[in-house]
């Protein structure tokens, strides 16, 4: 082992790799960092993936929903009540309301339209929402405090790790399982799956398909809002935060497979691992790695790791 | 031609091509563009179109196919049209007569409706696209058409001969007004407008009113350089001011170099602007990365730090600051060793991977230039790890400014030493009290931001230079700015005659808690002057 470390340090001239190999607790912290980042991204990406899976709309405005979630947490938790959890709940509720309005007034008219139209409309919503956010919250960068009970760090034996990050690591799988149960085991979930398979038949059977669509859109948007709310303590709510997150989410969703919850889950973990270890080992290439994975997946399995080939289920 | 081109009016559907676009600014003639589909605004030009097409040269046959002969023939035609043939629009005079009889008051096209603000919106961009398209169609129409538009241009010019109004001083202002950068651009505009209003209230400069033309740089070098070009060609501004972000500053400076217009950089800090990329017309009133790095070296020495981790943003400013810190450490804290170099992409949101590297590297000091929300995120993510208990955080990027401290409040971490150009609660110079009160009134808060003072000082420098030069000529202005000293709300400033850099020092100190307020303040405040002692 020592010789490997020496090789990394001297022959490769890579102090990052050497530090990872020689310091197990550092390697462990990076692992935890990867998971906590991944789980936060998963919550948001899952919403994007869900909406695409059912509605077949690539929603560029998803990042803006995330941004609104963060801003709402700031207003409710930091400005008015001082209770972070109330803020997150408000973010979820606020996004649900926004989702109803946007879906009923705009998105429902473009489900049958070509992709270019959908793209234009969702992009228009991005521009509108970012201006609305600026009108409401201005252009300052805000900071949201961690919830009182999760300010510190927990001793994991190997090292200390921030409580809030541990909480995120726990929340991600909980949401994944919850979503899976919801889609696989409930009546609404079954109808949702049916709607992705054959919308007309479902409607012929007397099911109110538009309601299902609205429901799915709300669910996806609420996930974005909650994701943004949970991110607010470490990602300062600020204009432009939507643009950064949407790119990460697209990488995750495409790697995992559009429409697949577990795909997003695994995609997010891959993204987190690559970003956190990559930025230690080859710091100058940290931004390239996620896209290299994306490229590799697109070349080998264009429909993503867990996705289905387009046209496979017409 | 018997007269120089002073201004050209087109209706947005011009067939003038690249040669025209490059030649016109070189000759410093203004361009007036009419909105599309508004021929009534464009009467004189439209009439000349008719004159060109039906009355003068176009109704005669070309002499032959030889280009030299055609050129000669066209010159003769233009000569006739300009000096012999009476025109309807100038009341029966020939264009040459019209030019000779022109009075000072008539320097501007009579129906010209200033519509500059509209170009802040998107419709302006669309108009330009349409213009290009129309131009291409016209070009494809053949060479004869080209010649005709050349002729029309010549005739139209005469009617509109007139340079930018002589009784005002036009300043092109370049800050990010919308989007992410507005958080800095908006307060900067407050400072800018305040300076302009003060000067105008006092009667302007040389008896002329100062008029500002603001364009959005969108924090992007390409957008900034396009905006700078438009300001020069469309609004015929006399000077450029502003720039936010080092990359944007360099882009504007390049336009200023090409167009030979004075540019005063109020915010960009990359050292390159006043070293390898310096030219005759660029001046900087902001600090720069070598001053900043040197001051950080002094702080490291003062705190007795030995092992330094450096974390910077991966673009012009971060790279240059890292180099500046390297030099500063060598000068002031030669026994401090740099153990870790980290680069984070601009706009990054997740810093955990870097935080654990810093904590694992065993350094006692972190030097950084993470500004704005980068710092907020870094601090929020580092605090739970106990990062700020383990190290002293010495940061450029003005994170000691009140806009950061006032927003982070209780979340602002311990052990931060940083810089700022101005602090609303610290009166370094007696005139600051008056400045701060006026600014507070204008921005509607008692606790004012730091950015306004930078824009304010830039305008004051330009005003002083115009006064001294007694003219708006770019070379004379540049000469006046060299070695110029003025008093500012944060003390006297002098622009070095050789480097074109102002001696802009900054306030440095630890950010501490204070009784009675919920935000951190700098205490004690130390002014570190912009002097690099070799």
Give the mean pLDDT of A288-305: 88
pLDDT greater than 70 at residue B24: no
Q: Judged by CB atoms within 8 Å, which residues 52-91 of A form the interface with B?
A: none
Q: Each residue of A189-199: pLDDT tens digit?
A: 999 888 888 88
Residues pairing with B168 in the sheet? B209
Residue among B286, B288, B241, B284 at smallest CA distance from B261:
B241
Q: What is the pLDDT of residues B253-271, one digit of tens each?
A: 999 999 999 999 999 998 9
List Cβ<8 Å contacts ≥24 apart for B498-502.
B499/B274, B499/B275, B499/B278, B500/B274, B500/B278, B500/B282, B500/B283, B500/B284, B501/B274, B501/B283, B501/B284, B501/B288, B502/B283, B502/B284, B502/B285, B502/B286, B502/B461, B502/B530
Q: How many A×B Cβ pairs under 8 Å?
A: 103
Sign of CA dihedral B241, B245, B251, B253: positive
Q: Quick one: pLDDT band at residue A270, thresholds 50, 70, 90?
A: very high
**pLDDT above 90 (res A86):** yes
Q: What angle do CA B443, B445, B446 make, to 5 degrees?
A: 125
Q: Which of A153, A279, A287 sits opposite B385 (nearest CB)?
A: A153
A6 in B contact zone (CB under 8 Å):
no
- In chain A, the residue whose alpha carbon lies closest to the alpha carbon of B376 is A236
Contact residues, chain B to chain A, C-beta under 8 Å = 178-180, 182-183, 186, 340, 342-343, 345, 347, 349-350, 352-354, 356-357, 360-361, 372-373, 376-377, 379-381, 384-386, 403-404, 407-411
pLDDT in tens, B376-421: 999 999 998 889 999 999 999 999 999 889 888 889 999 999 999 9
What rounded mean pLDDT belongs to chain B?
A: 81
Ramachandran category for residue B28: left, alpha or beta (phi over 0 → left; psi -120 to 50 → alpha):
left
Residue of B nearest to A153 (CA): B384
Neighbours of B244 (CB within 10 A): 25
Asked whether B410 and B512 are in contact (CB, 8 A), the reply is: no
**CB-CB under 8 Å, B373 with A26:** no
Chain A residues with CB-CB distance to B376 below 8 A: 141, 143, 236, 238
**Confidence at residue A236, expressed as pLDDT on a 0 to 100 scale:** 87
- Among chain B residues, the shortest Cα distance to A38 is held by B350
Contact status, residue A125 vs residue A217, Cβ threshold 8 Å: no
Disruptive mutation site among A38, A165, A283 for chain B (greatest number of B CBs within 10 Å): A283
- CB contacts, 8 Å: A141 with chain B: 183, 372-373, 376, 404, 407
DSSP, residue by residue, B97-144:
HHHHH--GGG-S-TT----GGGGGSHHHHHHHHHHHHHHHHHHHT-HH
Per the model's pLDDT, the better-predicted residue between A281 and B301 turns out to be B301
Measured CA to CA, the distance from residue B395 to residue A307 in angstroms comes to 46
Binding-face residues of A in 27-46 toward B, CB within 8 A: 29-30, 33, 36-37
Tell me whether residue B499 is exposed, middle or buried, using C-beta atoms within 10 angstroms of its C-beta: 0 to 12, 13 to 18, 19 or more: middle
Kindly report the number of other CB atoms within 10 A of residue A89's CB atom.
17
Contacts of B182 in chain A (CB under 8 A): 134, 139, 239
Strand partners for B512: B521
For the cut 80, the answer to whether the pLDDT of residue B114 exceeds it is no
On whether the CB atoms of residues A183 and A192 are closer than 8 A, the answer is: yes
Is pLDDT larger for residue B427 or for residue B69?
B427
Q: Which of B185, B344, B349 to mutate to test the interface with A (most CBs of A within 10 A)?
A: B349
- Among B157-161, B315-319, B376-380, name the one with the lowest average pLDDT: B157-161
pLDDT at A314 over 60: no
Q: Which residues of A touch B408 (CB under 8 A)?
A: 143
- Nearest-Cα distance to chain A for B222, in Å, is 18
* In contact, B382 and B413? CB cutoff 8 Å: yes
Which residue of chain A is at minimal alpha-carbon distance from B311? A283
Please indicate whether, in this complex, the C-beta atoms of B384 and A151 are within 8 angstroms of each other.
yes
Cα–Cα distance, B152 to B144 (Å, whole number): 12
Q: Any chain B CB within 8 A of the CB of A240?
A: yes
Q: Which two tokens stand for residue B94?
A: 């020939």
Contacts of B379 in chain A (CB under 8 A): 143
**C-alpha span between A47 and B424 (Å, rounded):** 44
Q: Are B355 and B322 in contact (CB under 8 A)?
A: no
Express each pLDDT in B208-224 by its tens digit: 999 999 999 988 899 99
- SS3 for chain A, per residue? CHHHHHHHHHHCCCHHHHHHHHCHHHHHHHHHHHHHHHHHHHHHHHHHHHHHHHHCCCCCCHHHHHHHHHHHHHHHHHHHHCCHHHHHHHHHHHHHHHHHHHHHHCHHHCCCCCHHHHHHHHHHHHHHHHHHHHHHHCCCCCCCCCCHHHCCEEECCCCEEEHHHHHHHHHHHHHHHHHHHHHHHCHHHHHHHHHHHCHHHHHHCCCCHHHHHHHHHHHHHHHHHHHHHHHCCCCCCCCCHHHHHHHHHHHHHHHHCCCCHHHHHHHHHHHHHHHHHHHHHCHHHCCHHHHHHHHHHHHHCCCCCCCCCCCCCC
Q: Which residue of B has its CA nearest to A27?
A: B356
User: ipTM of the predicted structure?
Assistant: 0.81
Q: Which of A162, A277, A282 to mutate to test the interface with B (most CBs of B within 10 A)?
A: A162
């Amino acid at each position: 082992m020592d010789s490997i470390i020496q090789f990394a340090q001297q022959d490769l001239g890579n102090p990052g790799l050497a530090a990872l190999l020689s310091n197990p607790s550092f390697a462990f912290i990076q692992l935890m960092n990867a998971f906590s980042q991944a789980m936060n991204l998963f919550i948001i990406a899952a919403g994007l993936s869900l909406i695409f899976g059912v509605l077949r709309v690539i929603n560029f405005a998803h990042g803006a929903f995330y941004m609104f979630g963060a801003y709402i947490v700031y207003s409710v938790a930091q400005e008015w009540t001082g209770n972070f959890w109330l803020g997150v709940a408000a973010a979820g509720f606020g996004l649900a309301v926004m989702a109803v309005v946007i879906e009923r007034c705009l998105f429902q008219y473009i489900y049958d339209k070509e992709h270019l139209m959908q793209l234009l409309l969702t992009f228009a919503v991005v521009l509108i929402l970012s201006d609305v956010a600026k009108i409401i919250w201005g252009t300052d960068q805000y900071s949201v405090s961690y919830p009182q009970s999760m300010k510190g760090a927990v001793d994991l034996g190997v090292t200390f790790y921030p409580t809030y990050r541990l909480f995120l690591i726990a929340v991600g799988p909980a949401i994944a399982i919850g979503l899976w149960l919801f889609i696989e085991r409930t009546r609404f979930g079954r109808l949702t799956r049916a709607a992705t398979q054959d919308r007309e038949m479902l409607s012929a059977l007397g099911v109110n398909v538009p309601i299902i669509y609205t429901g799915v859109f709300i669910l996806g948007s609420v996930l974005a809002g909650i994701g943004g709310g949970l991110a607010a303590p470490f990602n300062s709510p600020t204009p432009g935060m939507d643009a950064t997150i949407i790119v990460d989410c697209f990488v995750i969703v495409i790697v995992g497979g559009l429409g697949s919850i577990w795909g997003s889950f695994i995609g997010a973990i891959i993204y987190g691992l690559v970003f956190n270890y990559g930025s230690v080992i080859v710091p100058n290439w940290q931004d390239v790695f996620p896209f290299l994975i994306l490229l590799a997946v697109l070349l080998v399995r264009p429909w993503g790791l867990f996705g289905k080939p387009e046209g496979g289920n017409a | 031609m018997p007269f120089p081109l002073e201004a050209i009016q087109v209706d947005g559907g011009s067939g003038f091509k690249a040669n025209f676009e490059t030649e016109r600014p070189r000759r410093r003639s203004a361009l007036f563009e009419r909105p599309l589909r508004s021929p009534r605004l464009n009467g004189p030009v439209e009439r000349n179109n008719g004159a060109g097409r039906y009355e003068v040269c176009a109704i005669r046959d070309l002499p032959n196919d030889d280009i030299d002969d055609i050129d000669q023939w066209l010159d003769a035609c233009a000569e006739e049209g300009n000096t012999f043939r009476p025109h309807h629009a100038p009341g029966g005079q020939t264009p040459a007569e019209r030019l000779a009889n022109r009075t000072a008051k008539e320097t501007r096209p009579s129906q010209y409706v200033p519509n500059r603000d509209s170009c802040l919106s998107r419709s302006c961009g669309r108009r330009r696209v349409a213009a290009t398209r129309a131009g291409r169609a016209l070009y494809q129409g053949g060479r004869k058409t080209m010649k005709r538009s050349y002729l029309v241009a010549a005739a139209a010019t005469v009617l509109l001969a007139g340079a930018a109004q002589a009784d005002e001083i036009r300043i092109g202002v370049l800050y990010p007004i919308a989007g992410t950068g507005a958080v800095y651009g908006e307060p900067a505009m407050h400072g800018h407008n305040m300076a302009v209003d003060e000067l105008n209230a006092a009667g302007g400069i040389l008896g002329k009113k100062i008029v500002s033309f603001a364009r959005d740089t969108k924090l992007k070098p390409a957008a900034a350089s396009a905006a700078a070009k438009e300001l020069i060609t469309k609004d015929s501004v006399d000077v450029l001011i502003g720039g936010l972000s080092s990359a944007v500053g360099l882009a504007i400076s390049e336009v200023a170099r090409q167009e030979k217009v004075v540019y005063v950089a109020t915010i960009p800090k990359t050292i390159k602007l006043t070293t390898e990329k310096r030219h005759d017309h660029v001046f900087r009133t902001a600090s720069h990365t070598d001053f900043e790095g040197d001051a950080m070296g002094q702080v490291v020495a003062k705190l007795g730090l030995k092992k330094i981790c450096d974390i910077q943003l991966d673009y012009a400013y971060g790279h240059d600051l890292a180099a500046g810190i390297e030099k500063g450490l060598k000068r002031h804290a030669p026994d401090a060793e740099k153990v870790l170099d980290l680069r984070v992409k601009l706009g990054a949101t997740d810093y955990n991977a870097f935080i654990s590297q810093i904590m694992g590297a065993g350094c006692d000091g972190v030097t950084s230039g993470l500004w704005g929300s980068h710092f907020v995120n870094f601090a929020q993510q580092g605090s739970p790890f106990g990062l700020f208990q383990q190290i002293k955080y010495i940061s450029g990027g003005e994170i000691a400014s009140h806009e950061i401290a006032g927003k982070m409040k209780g979340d602002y971490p311990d052990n931060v030493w940083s810089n700022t150009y101005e602090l609303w609660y610290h009166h370094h110079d007696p005139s600051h009290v008056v400045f701060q009160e006026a600014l507070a009134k204008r921005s509607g808060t008692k606790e004012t931001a730091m950015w306004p003072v930078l824009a304010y000082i830039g305008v004051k420098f330009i005003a002083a230079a115009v006064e001294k030069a007694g003219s708006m000529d770019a070379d004379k202005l540049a000469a006046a700015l060299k070695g110029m000293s003025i008093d500012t709300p944060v003390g006297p400033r002098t622009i070095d005659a050789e480097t074109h850099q102002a001696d802009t020092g900054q306030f440095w100190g630890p950010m501490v808690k204070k009784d009675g307020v919920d935000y951190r303040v700098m205490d004690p405040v130390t002014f570190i002057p912009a002097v690099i002692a070799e």
